[in-house]
Each structure stands twice: as C-alpha cells, then as structure tokens.
Amino acid sequence: MILALDASTPTIAVGLARTEDRAEDEQRRMLAEVSVSARGASETLLLAVHDVLELAGEELGSVDLILTGTGPGTFTGIRIAAATARALSLGTGAELSANSTLAALAAPALPVAGDVLAVIDARRGQVFAQRFTDAVPTREIVCATPQDLRVDGRPLLVGDGAVRYREVLSRRGNIPPGDSPLHRVSAAGHVLSAALAVSDAEALVPIYVREPDAEVRRDLNPWSRR
C-alpha cells in the first residue's frame, strides 16, 4: 500500500494506492485521494492523511511505502511534507520514497498531449518549470520569470504558474482553462510518475532549485550578519 503526499503548492494532496502485479505488469490503483486548499500544511497534512485512510477503509499500519513530493514549490510546505513522511515512517516501519512535484503535475496531462510543460508558481515573479515527453523529463528544472522562459514548439502548459501568468505563457503553448484539474498537483500524479525507489530518511531532501525565501530575507537583513 502506498501513501502519497505533497505540500509543495497551496493545494495539499494526499492519496492511498495499491500496487498489483498482473502478468509481469505492475498496476497502480488509487483507492482514495484528498485535496485541500490551505496555507497551513503543518495543521492540514496529518488531517488529510487521516481522512484519506478513512475514505479507503484502511489503517496506517497497512501502508508499506510513503511517497513524498519533494518539490520544487513552497519551501515550508516541502519541508513539512518531508518531516511528516519521516515521522510516519518511523512510527509505522513503512519505507520512504521521493518524487518530483513537477513530474507529478505533468503525469495526468501526458495522455492528453504527450508534450507537457509543468509550471509551478515560484513567487518573486518567477516560475519553476520542466518539460516532459512520454513521462520522461526532456529538460532540467528551470527557475525563471515567465518572460524569460524559453520554449520550443507548442507544449501543453499546466500548473498554477501557467494559470497565474497565462497572458505571457499562452504565447509559449496551450493552457487549459483555469479550473482544469490538470493544473493541480495530485497524489494520483505522484503514484503515476514515481519510480518508487526506496530512500533512507537522510536522502529525502527537498528540490529547492533556488535559495529558500528565508535565506534571502536573512541576507537582506543587515542585523542577521552581525
């Protein structure tokens, strides 16, 4: 049983899935999923875990693997998700696994377009972006302003960054309507895209891409250097 969780964006996603081997082909089946739009991941994430287990009629002890989105995205949310995963693993004995939030965002859109640019709002007027074709990333993760984002062709753009900067990014590719579920990071997207490689707790590190906001504020504060 896989418990997938992500708090890298303002929408917290938690889901429970089962893996089944059928004729040498692994099938991953979602049992339940909860998405919550909330600012406080520290208060919301464990409640969402409880809700998804209740929806699926399962106990936390039945979870074999905890799959965690490690960003990029909001730095506090990424750290809270990683800390929650470690704590749950320690308490249950479940193994840990990590997955890119951009890969999870792109996964549900790939059957629709085959060429997807996943775009997450990075704040500070920037976006985190990565392009995927056939579930394989074709570019490194970039952090850039929407104006500076270089895109060849016309991929499908998904994510809250694509929605926020639609006016600029619509010149780079096609963007679904703002209320499309393709713009939300989902636990199902993580289950679809993750390699499910087991990690130890120390290896469960956030994908920051750029310096965390707290470090920037500290550098700008002259009192922090005294």
pLDDT digits (tens, 9 = 90+) for 63-80: 999 999 999 999 999 999
Assign domain 2-100+185-214 one CATH number from 3.30.420.40, 3.90.870.10, 3.30.70.260, 1.10.287.3510: 3.30.420.40
Architecture of the CATH domain 102-183: 2-Layer Sandwich (3.30)
Q: Which of 34-43, 102-111, 204-213 has the highest mean pLDDT?
A: 102-111
Q: Average pLDDT of 16-36?
A: 84
Of residues 150 and 43, more confidence is placed in 150
Q: Average pLDDT of 152-176?
A: 97
Residue 85 makes CB contacts below 8 A (sequence gap 6+) with: 5, 66, 68, 96, 204
Residue 169 makes CB contacts below 8 A (sequence gap 6+) with: 119, 146, 149, 157, 161, 162, 175
Of residues 40 and 94, more confidence is placed in 94
d(CA 89, CA 64): 9
User: What pLDDT does residue 213 have?
Assistant: 55
pLDDT at 114 over 50: yes
Q: State the span(s) of the chain assigned CATH 3.30.420.40.
A: 2-100+185-214, 102-183
Structure tokens at 115: 């060429």
* pTM of structure: 0.90
User: What pLDDT does residue 109 have?
Assistant: 97
Of residues 223 and 135, more confidence is placed in 135
User: What pLDDT does residue 35 have?
Assistant: 94
Binned at pLDDT 50, 70 and 90, residue 220 comes out as very low
List, for residues 177-213, the tens digit of each pLDDT value.
999 999 999 999 999 999 999 999 988 889 988 876 5
